[in-house]
Amino acid sequence: MKYYKSAIFFILFYMSFPQNKIIAKENQWQKDSLKIDQLLLKDSKDQKSNSILDIVFVRRIYLETVGRIPKAKEIKIFLQDQNKNKRSDLINQLMNSNEHPKYFYHFWADMLRLQTKIKGVYNNQYAKWVKKSIAENKPYNQIVYELISASGYISQNGAVGYYLRDEGKILEIASTTAQLFLGTQIGCAQCHDHAFEDWTQKQFYEFASYMGKVKLKMANAKPYRKLVKKENLSQKEIQTLRRLIQTATTKITDIQSKKLRLPKDYKYNNAKPNQIIHPKVFLKDQPLANENSRIALAKWLTSPKNPLFTKITVNRLWKKVMGKGLFEPVDDYNQNTKVNHPEVLAYLEKKMIEYDYNTNDFLKLLLNTKHYQLPTSSENLSRSKYYTDVRQLQRMKAEQVWNSLLTIIKENINQEVDYHDKNISRPLIAIADKIQKEGLKIEQLPQILEIVKSTANRKNKMNKSKSKRFKKRNKRGGSKRFGRASEQSSPPREQHILNYFGQSDRLMIGTGNQDPNLPQVLTLLNSPEINKAISKSPFIKREIKKLKNSNEIMDFIYLTIISRLPTPEEKETIIKYIKTHKKTAYQDLAWALINTREFLFIQ
C-alpha cells in the first residue's frame, strides 16, 4: 500500500512539473518586466507611471498581438475577470493563440519585402515558409541563419526566397542584409566611399563577397526548344511553358569558382579596378574562414557575440510594441546614434540572449511592462525626446484596420485562403514540384505539354467569359476579399483598403505608413463593400437577434466597433434616431462608429 501511495505521489508530481515550469517562466517575465520599468524611471522626476484602464488595455493588447479589435464577448470576459493577473494572463493567451503568427507575419514580410509575385517563386512558397517559421516560434536568430545560408529549390527550401527576392543580385542582397540585421546602411558604399560614415567601397565589396559565390541557376532548356518547335504551340501556350520551366528549374547554389570583383572603374588607392575581393566583415571579430562563406557569415551574423545583431533585433521589436525605438532610425546605427536609456537597451540585449532569441517570450516581456500600458497623448510629442510617462496616440496600421473591419462583420476571420498563383494552375504546381525533385527530363515533355495546353486554354476561356461586373469585383478584391490581411496579395490592389491605409508596397524596407489621406475618409464613408457587408452580415444579424432590447443592441454595437459602452447622452441621441429610422438605425449606427477617430486610433 505504501508503495502505491509513493508511486501515485511521484506520478502526480511529474505530471505537474511542466505546469510548474510555465508558472515559473511567467513569474520571471513579470520580474524582468518590472526591471525594465525601474530602469526607465531611474532618471525620471516622476517615479510612478500611470496605467490605462482595463477597457483601454483590452483593445490595445488585441490590436498589438493579433492585429484586430476584440469582439464584444471577449471584452466582457476580460472586464468580468477578477484575477489580479488578468492582464498578464490575456497577454499569454493572445501570444499563444493561432492568430498571433498571422499578424506577426507582417513584421517579417515588411522587413523582407515579401511580395506575392517573386521571380522563381511559385505557389507563395517563400511566404508559406515565413508563416510556418513564425507559427513554430522558430528563434529569431535561427530564421535569419536559415535565410542567409539557404540554397536549393524553392519547393524544398522556402528560405531561398531571400535570394530569389532580388533575383540573386549579390550587391543588393548584401546591402539589405546589413541594413536588416546589422542596422548598418552601407548601400551607398556600393558605388563610392560613404559620404558621412567610415564605410569604404572596398569594405562593402568585402562584406558582399561572403555571398559572392551565390548563383541563381536555371536548367538548360535547349533540348526542349527543338521539340517544342514541332508542337506548333500558341503564343499563350509558349508563355505558360516558358514560365513553368523558368520557375521550376530555378535554384540557388554556390559556385566555388565564382569570385566577386571590384568594379572596372574603381578609383581608390587601396585596391585595383576589377581586383578579386576576399570576404571580410567591417567589425573586429571575423567569421571562420574554413567554412562555406555564406554559412560562416550566417553563424557570425546571428551569434550572441555579434555586437550589432542582438542590439538591432531588440530595438526593432521594442519599436513595434512601444511605437518608438530606443534609437531611431532602427536600421541605421552608427557612431552618431543617440541611444535613449542605454541601460534599458543593454538589459534587453541580455534578456534576448537568455531567452535564446525566442521572439514570443521577448514580446511577452515587453507587453507586461507598465511602460507598454502607459496612457496616450493626442498632442504632437517631440520626436527627439523619449517619454516615460506617456505614449503618442497612433492610428491603426493598415493591417489592423482591415482585420478589425472583418472582425465587425465576420464570426471567424482566421480561415486560411488556399492561395496559389493565378498564373500557375494546380496541375502546373504539381509538375513544377516534380521537376524540382527529379530534374528536367525529356520524357516529361508530353505530360508537361498536355498540362500547359489545358491551362492556357482554360485561362483563355475564363478571360472571354468574364463579365464587366466580375472584372470590377475582382479588381476591388475578388473572392478573397474577406480574408485576413496576411492572406491578401502583396502589394495590395490599388483600390484595396490596405493600400489606402498605407500598407507597405514592399519594394523597399519600411515603406508602410500611418499618414492620413482623403481616400481613407472616402473609402470608409462611401465604400459599397463595407456598407453592404454591414447590412448583409449574417454574424451581426445573428448576434443582434440574441439580444432583448435596443439598449443591449446599442451596447453590442459600441463594444464591437469602438470597444466601449455608449454614454447616457449617446444612448439618448440614438434612441431618438431609432424612432425615425427603424429599418436602418442599427446599420447606420455601425457605419457612423466605423467613421469615427475613436475606431481608427489606438488609445
pLDDT (tens digit, 9 = 90+) per residue, 460-484? 555 544 444 444 444 443 345 678 9
Q: Residue 204: name the closest of 193, 213, 215, 214 by CA.
A: 193
Three-state SS for 33-67 is HHHHHHHHHCCCCCCCCCCCCHHHHHHHHHHHHHC
pLDDT digits (tens, 9 = 90+) for 291-312: 789 999 999 999 999 999 999 9
Higher-pLDDT residue of 189, 435: 435
Cα dihedral sign, 447-448-449-453: positive
Give the model's confidence band at 186: pLDDT under 50 very low, under 70 low, under 90 confident, else very high. Answer: confident
The whole-angstrom separation of Cα 87 and Cα 64 is 14
Is it the case that residue 31 has pLDDT exceeding 50?
yes
Tally of CB atoms within 10 A around 427? 16
pLDDT digits (tens, 9 = 90+) for 85-97: 999 999 999 999 9
| pLDDT computed for residue 127 by the predictor | 95
For cell 492572406, what's the residue?
A: 487
CA 536 to chain centre: 31
Give the model's confidence band at 165: pLDDT under 50 very low, under 70 low, under 90 confident, else very high. Answer: very high
pLDDT digits (tens, 9 = 90+) for 204-246: 999 999 999 999 888 766 667 766 777 777 888 888 888 888 8
Of the CA atoms within 13 Å of residue 66, those in its CB half-sphere come to: 23
Residue 348 maps to a domain: yes
Tally of CB atoms within 10 A around 82? 5
Residue 156 maps to a domain: no
What the block records as the C-alpha cell of 538 is: 449574417
Q: Which domain holds residue 314?
A: 2-97+308-392
| pLDDT computed for residue 474 by the predictor | 40
The whole-angstrom separation of Cα 519 and Cα 352 is 41
| pLDDT computed for residue 455 by the predictor | 78
Tally of CB atoms within 10 A around 171? 17
pLDDT digits (tens, 9 = 90+) for 502-516: 899 999 998 998 888
Length of the chain: 603
pLDDT digits (tens, 9 = 90+) for 124-143: 899 999 999 999 999 999 99
Q: Which residues contact 41 (CB under 8 A, 6 or more apart)?
A: 47, 48, 49, 388
Residue 359 maps to a domain: yes
pLDDT digits (tens, 9 = 90+) for 335-373: 889 999 999 999 999 999 999 999 999 999 999 999 999
Averaged pLDDT, 269-298? 87
pLDDT digits (tens, 9 = 90+) for 42-60: 867 666 668 899 999 999 9
CB contact at 8 A, 154 and 436? yes
Mean pLDDT of the chain: 86
Give the model's confidence band at 163: pLDDT under 50 very low, under 70 low, under 90 confident, else very high. Answer: very high
| pLDDT computed for residue 477 by the predictor | 37
CB contact at 8 A, 509 and 185? no
Is it the case that residue 161 has pLDDT exceeding 60?
yes
| pLDDT computed for residue 470 by the predictor | 41
CB contact at 8 A, 252 and 168? yes
Residue 271 maps to a domain: no
What the block records as the C-alpha cell of 246 is: 523558368
pLDDT digits (tens, 9 = 90+) for 245-274: 888 888 999 998 899 999 899 898 898 999
Averaged pLDDT, 522-547? 81
The whole-angstrom separation of Cα 139 and Cα 590 is 41
Q: What percent of the chain has pLDDT over 90?
A: 50
| pLDDT computed for residue 472 by the predictor | 46
Strand partners, 152: 252
Q: Which residues contact 293 (CB under 8 A, 6 or more apart)?
A: 209, 210, 211, 212, 213, 254, 279, 287
Residues of 22-59 as b/e, b for ≥16 C-beta within 10 angstroms?
A: eeeebeebeebbeebbebbbeeeeeeebeebeeebbbb
Averaged pLDDT, 308-318? 98
pTM value? 0.89
E strands in 358-430: 376-377, 391-392, 394-395
Domain count, the chain: 1
Residue 22 maps to a domain: yes
| pLDDT computed for residue 26 by the predictor | 65
CB contact at 8 A, 326 and 318? yes
Q: Which residues contact 483 (CB under 8 A, 6 or more apart)?
A: 413, 415, 416, 417
| pLDDT computed for residue 430 by the predictor | 85
